[in-house]
């Protein structure tokens, strides 16, 4: 993504483009967070409409949206297959900032998933095959045995990407920025658009 326009932290509410503002805040979070500035809580809903939430790592991001990778057979994978919509929130404690994202979810292309999978450490690749994410597991040994089996299976050459492991892209229709201010008079700005193909956003300040 292109270098973000420079904004001082104090006047982020003047920004007109949420992806650029995200880039600026993310760059600052990478400097100040002790770990995982790209960690975000990802909310989905199950078949009963009951929300579910867990942490994932933001991987790629561009004007199309925010991508994370996971196992499609996991709880989140199954929930997204049934209801392809999600919300995510970043909380950068060191900056006292929050960014919320909401939108429909699509899977990334096979080429994108293959490229990222190929860039991962070999042990992570093996883990993606070995872990039946979110399924009941008898004991730790079951995972270790699965890792040993996959390691033997792919002893030579590259480990291919499992079909059950891919990326999901949240295509935001709403991105909200929140910055702590004294006496709980926080700054909140929400950018919204009717659909994720639009490039124009409406910007609204909200009471904190």
Ligand X SMILES: Cc1cc2nc3c(=O)[nH]c(=O)nc-3n(C[C@H](O)[C@H](O)[C@H](O)COP(=O)(O)O)c2cc1C
72 binds ligand X (CB under 6 A): no
C-beta of 65 vs 189, nearer to ligand X: 65
For residue 194, what are the contacts with CB-CB under 8 A and spacing of at least 6? 173
Q: Which member of 54, 96, 122, 184 is catalytic?
A: 184
* Residue numbering of the annotated binding site for FMN: 69-70, 76, 98, 133-134, 178, 188
Write the DSSP string, 182-193: GGG--EEEEEE-
Q: What does the alpha-carbon distance between residue 37 and residue 84 come to, in Å, rounded to a whole number? A: 25
Nearest to 112 by CA among 52, 68, 174: 68
Active site residue 171: no
Return the residue of 1, 10, 16, 54 that touches ligand X, per CB under 6 A: 54
Sequence-distant (≥ 6) Cβ neighbours of residue 108 within 8 angstroms = 60, 67, 166, 167, 168, 169
In DSSP terms, 86 is beta-bridged to: 103
d(CA 26, CA 19): 10
Looking at 21, 29, 43, 56, which residue binds ligand X (CB under 6 A)?
A: 56
Cite the annotated binding site by residue number: 69-70, 76, 98, 116, 120, 124, 133-134, 178, 184-186, 188
Of positions 75, 104, 147, 196, contacts ligand X by CB under 6 A: 75
# residues contacting ligand X (CB under 6 A): 16
Q: Are 56 and 74 in contact (CB under 8 A)?
A: no
Cβ proximity to ligand X: between 55 and 148 the closer is: 55
With binding defined as CB under 6 A, does residue 191 bind ligand X? no
Residues forming contacts to ligand X in the complex (CB under 6 A) are: 36, 39, 52, 54-57, 68-71, 74-76, 133-134
Active-site positions read 184
């Amino acid at each position: 993504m292109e270098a973000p326009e420079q904004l001082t932290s104090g006047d982020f509410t003047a920004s007109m483009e949420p992806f650029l503002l995200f880039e600026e805040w993310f760059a600052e979070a990478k400097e100040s967070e002790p770990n995982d500035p790209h960690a975000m809580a990802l909310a989905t809903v199950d078949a009963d409409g009951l929300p579910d939430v867990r942490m994932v790592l933001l991987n790629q991001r561009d004007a199309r949206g925010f991508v994370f990778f996971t196992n499609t057979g996991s709880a989140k994978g199954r929930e997204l297959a049934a209801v392809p919509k999600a919300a995510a929130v970043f909380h950068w404690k060191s900056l006292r900032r929050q960014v919320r994202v909401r939108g429909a979810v699509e899977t990334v292309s096979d080429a994108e998933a293959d490229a990222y999978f190929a860039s991962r450490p070999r042990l992570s690749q093996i883990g993606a095959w070995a872990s039946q994410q979110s399924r009941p597991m008898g004991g730790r040994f079951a995972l270790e045995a699965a890792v040993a089996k996959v390691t033997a299976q792919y002893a030579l050459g590259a480990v291919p990407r499992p079909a059950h492991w891919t990326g999901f892209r949240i295509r935001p229709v709403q991105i909200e920025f929140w910055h702590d201010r004294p006496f709980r008079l926080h700054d909140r700005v929400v950018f919204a658009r009717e659909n994720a193909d639009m490039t124009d956003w409406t910007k609204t300040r909200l009471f904190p």
